[in-house]
């Protein structure tokens, strides 16, 4: 460690205030920004509903993964403090303390704002008690024909154990009075195979004013329909009460890879076990009496600190189904992706790449050139081999189909499928088996690390010898998410970059111990030291010439070593601009520590997903793109690649159009304050929207 680093570390450790923001609370602040989009009346009504559903879905995953992890630490007696100084027990208490008022805001928004607005626009989400006679008669018939046959009530008494409550399931706690046995308890699961929002015929909707029938839609909550017909499930006894409740369980699988003879089978078993993890949250309706809540707590083996009581319907992620309504007047105008200028004339794709690198910016650019790249390789007789990594390919992947087609055409095809991609394990297992049946050589990642790098390689026999073509990206090979995630992809045949890609695939598929690369920064070997070296170079430039500048855009910044390096840069006077969508543990704007660092977050219709690392380098800037956030897992426990953007015109586009738009945004940007809160910018002058397709495409 240098003398300067020792001084910097001493400054970082100064006890004025914690140098780091809590990771879990920072994540909650991110989800609060998502919630703010649901509250924002500038967004169309159904877009606000969408953001509320995303907020709820995000929170479910937060409990399944992050809260469950904290609870496991507590159970294991872990007392180690987080970088901001909190024990696991203190973190869990802080999470609950922060979430309770936010959840109350969520309910106020839904019940007092969104539902009345939806009704005013002809979209009714009825409570069962609001229904008229005709509507109830129609639902009586619907229940008999579609719901009743699917239901399975489960009793709980001295001879029957408490029924298992699966993860994310919505249930009814039913209280029954029997003449002989007295008060009994039963559980009825709300079937996931049925629509959560039961649609009524439009002619039965209570439409406001003269709204045309085709623009009307009305629904009833499925659990309320079931609750109204419980007597049919329990003939001969009196149904006294029923209350909805919902359970969230630990869904973070622990895979002992070194003990797994068959990783595919082990992952399959882990996916099945996910349903049976420890309960980490019980949500109940505010109407549930204490005795029923206590019965659930006792039998689920959790405490009152795991109980969340809310007003209104549970499981609001199901509101996403309303986005299927044909109501363009209540949605954002549809965005139609375009082709980059270099690919618009229908020229041969490989010829275009030979003439120069092609940069794709999704979702503003279409994802079709990525698919075309693999399909063209599959059909080209000059192509010898195709290699690709797959992390989240989606459920109906044209990329995977193109790889199987390539194998049918006699190409040598290798797919590195990451089976451990959280919540995509089942899709990846399905695709892996289908590709193996098609003859594709499938590699299931590496022992102990996840393969998160986004790479595709095409090996082609040309007149002057073998030439390699590559696609390197910041996002997944998923055509569906490419329509809503902002990502960058590079099509190139630069020999030094493609040689690195070849070496990286050899590392992924064989026993290679490759630890040096020509151009790529690769985790877990060269990415961390490479980025740290580039940051230190900028610090040195600041000392020499006073022109140090860093601009980083990513999803999350929580790695303490990287944060310390950025603190050192700030203390040296380097201007540091950070654009971070989600978690940020760095505390900006602290005198003597981070006064030269600004952090902003962009949340909007598109999910900001690309990672961009800009180093000013004394006016000869270097710009890297890639798959890695600045998190310990990305730097040390994943295979990631970060690649340089060397074509000057492309680098200029990313710097001048993308990064400068994000730094000037006054429509979607929030700025991180030293205390961990975020402030939305108030537009002063012209509006700058960094998600405006016209702005992002420019002349591209």
Q: Is 452 a catalytic residue?
A: yes
Question: Distance (Å, rounded) from C-alpha 48 to C-alpha 43?
Answer: 6
Would strands 358-362 and 638-644 be described as parallel, antiparallel, or unpaired? unpaired
Q: Which of 361, 452, 596, 609 is catalytic?
A: 452
Could you tell me if 520 and 453 are in contact, meaning their C-beta atoms sit under 8 angstroms apart?
Answer: no
Residue 157 DSSP symbol: B
Number of helices (H) and strands (E), helices first, in the chain?
21, 27
* Alpha carbon of residue 656 to chain centroid: 27
154-156 vs 182-189, strand pairing mode: antiparallel
Name the β-bridge partners of 641: 522
Tokens of 579: 């654009």
Closest of 129, 94, 139, 131 to residue 287, by C-alpha: 129
Q: Kindly report the number of other CB atoms within 10 A of residue 433's CB atom.
A: 13
Q: What does the DSSP assignment read for 343-389?
A: GTT---HHHHHHHS-EEEEETTB-SHHHHHHHHHHHH-TTEEEEEEE
C-alpha 119/C-alpha 207 separation (Å) is: 8
Residue 248 φ then ψ, to 5°: -120, 135
Non-local CB neighbours of 128 within 8 Å, separated by 6+ positions: 220, 221, 224, 225, 227, 228
- Residue 449 is classified by DSSP as B
Report the Cα–Cα distance between both ends of the chain, in Å, rounded: 46
Separation between Cα atoms, residue 561 and residue 577, nearest integer Å: 18
Q: Helices in 557-642 by DSSP H: which ranges?
A: 560-572, 632-636
Segment holding 466, helix H or strand E = strand 465-473
- Lookup: tokens for 435: 């590709």
d(CA 700, CA 652): 12
* Listed residue (366, 369, 430) closest to 404, CA to CA: 430
What are the residues whose beta carbons fall under 8 Å from the beta carbon of 380, sequence distance 6 or more? 350, 460
Cα dihedral angle (266, 267, 270, 272), rounded to 10 degrees?
A: -110
CA–CA separation, 648 and 319 (whole Å): 45
b/e per residue, 255-285, with b = 16+ CB within 10 A?
beeeeeeeebebbeebbeebeebebbbbbbb
Helix (H, G, I), strand (E, B) or coil at 510: coil
Here the tokens at position 564 are: 């310390």
Enzyme catalytic residues: 452
């Amino acid at each position: 460690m240098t003398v300067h680093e020792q001084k910097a570390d001493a400054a970082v450790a100064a006890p004025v205030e914690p140098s780091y923001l809590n990771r879990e609370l920072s994540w909650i602040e991110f989800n609060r920004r998502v919630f703010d989009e649901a509250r924002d009346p500038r967004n169309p009504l159904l877009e606000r509903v969408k953001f509320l559903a995303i907020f709820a879905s995000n929170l479910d995953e937060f409990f399944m993964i992050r809260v469950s992890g904290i609870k496991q630490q507590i159970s294991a007696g872990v007392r180690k403090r987080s970088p901001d100084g909190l024990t696991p027990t203190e973190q869990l208490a802080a999470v609950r303390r922060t979430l309770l008022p936010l959840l109350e805001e969520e309910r106020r928004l839904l019940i007092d704002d969104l539902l009345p607005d939806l009704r005013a626009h002809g979209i009714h989400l009825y409570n069962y008690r609001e229904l008229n006679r005709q509507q109830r008669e129609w639902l009586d018939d619907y229940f008999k024909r579609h719901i009743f046959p699917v239901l399975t009530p489960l009793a709980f008494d001295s001879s029957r154990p408490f029924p298992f409550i699966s993860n994310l399931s919505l249930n009814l706690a039913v209280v029954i009075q029997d003449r002989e046995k007295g008060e009994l308890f039963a559980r009825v699961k709300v079937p996931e195979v049925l629509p959560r929002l039961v649609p009524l015929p439009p002619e039965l909707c209570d439409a406001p004013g003269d709204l045309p029938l085709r623009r009307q839609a009305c629904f009833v909550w499925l659990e309320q329909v079931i609750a109204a017909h419980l007597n049919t499930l329990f003939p001969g006894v009196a149904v006294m009460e029923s209350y909805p409740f919902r359970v969230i369980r630990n869904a973070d699988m622990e895979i002992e890879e070194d003990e797994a003879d068959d990783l595919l089978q082990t992952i399959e078993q882990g996916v099945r076990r996910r349903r049976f993890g420890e309960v980490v949250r019980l949500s109940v309706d505010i109407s549930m009496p204490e005795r029923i809540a206590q019965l659930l707590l006792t039998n689920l083996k959790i405490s009152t600190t795991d109980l969340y009581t809310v007003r209104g319907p549970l499981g609001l992620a199901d509101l996403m189904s309303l986005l299927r309504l044909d109501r363009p007047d209540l949605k954002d105008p549809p965005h139609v992706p375009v082709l980059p200028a270099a690919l618009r004339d229908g020229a041969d794709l490989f010829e275009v790449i030979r003439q120069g690198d092609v940069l794709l910016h999704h979702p503003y650019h279409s994802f079709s050139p990525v698919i075309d790249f693999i399909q063209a390789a599959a059909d080209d007789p000059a192509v010898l081999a195709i290699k690709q990594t797959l992390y989240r390919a989606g459920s109906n992947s044209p990329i995977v189909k193109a790889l199987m087609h390539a194998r049918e055409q006699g190409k040598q095809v290798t797919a590195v499928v990451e089976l451990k991609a959280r919540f995509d394990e089942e899709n990846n297992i399905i695709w892996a088996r289908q590709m193996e049946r098609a003859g594709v050589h499938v590699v299931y990642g590496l022992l102990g690390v996840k393969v998160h790098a986004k790479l595709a390689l095409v090996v082609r026999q040309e007149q002057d010898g073998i030439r390699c073509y590559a696609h390197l990206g910041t996002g997944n090979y998923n055509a569906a998410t490419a329509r809503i995630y902002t990502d960058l992809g590079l099509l190139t045949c630069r020999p030094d970059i493609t040689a690195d890609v070849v070496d990286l695939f050899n590392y992924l598929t064989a026993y290679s111990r490759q630890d040096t690369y020509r151009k790529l920064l690769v985790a877990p070997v060269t990415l961390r030291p490479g980025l740290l070296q580039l940051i230190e170079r900028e610090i040195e430039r600041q000392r020499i010439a006073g022109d140090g500048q860093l601009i980083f855009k990513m999803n999350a910044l929580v790695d303490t070593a990287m944060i310390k390096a950025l603190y050192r840069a700030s203390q040296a006077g380097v201007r540091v601009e950070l654009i971070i969508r989600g978690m940020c543990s760095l505390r900006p704007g602290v005198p003597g520590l981070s006064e030269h660092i600004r952090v902003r977050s962009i949340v909007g219709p598109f999910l900001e997903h690309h990672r961009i690392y800009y180093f000013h380098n004394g006016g000869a800037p270097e710009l890297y793109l890639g798959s890695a956030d600045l998190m310990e897992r990305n730097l040390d426990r994943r295979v990631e690649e970060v690649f340089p953007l060397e074509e000057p015109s492309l680098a200029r586009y990313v710097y001048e159009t993308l990064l400068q738009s994000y730094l000037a945004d006054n429509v979607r940007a929030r700025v991180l304050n030293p205390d961990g809160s975020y402030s939305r910018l108030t537009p002063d002058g012209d509006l700058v929207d960094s998600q405006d397709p016209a702005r992002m495409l420019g002349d591209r």
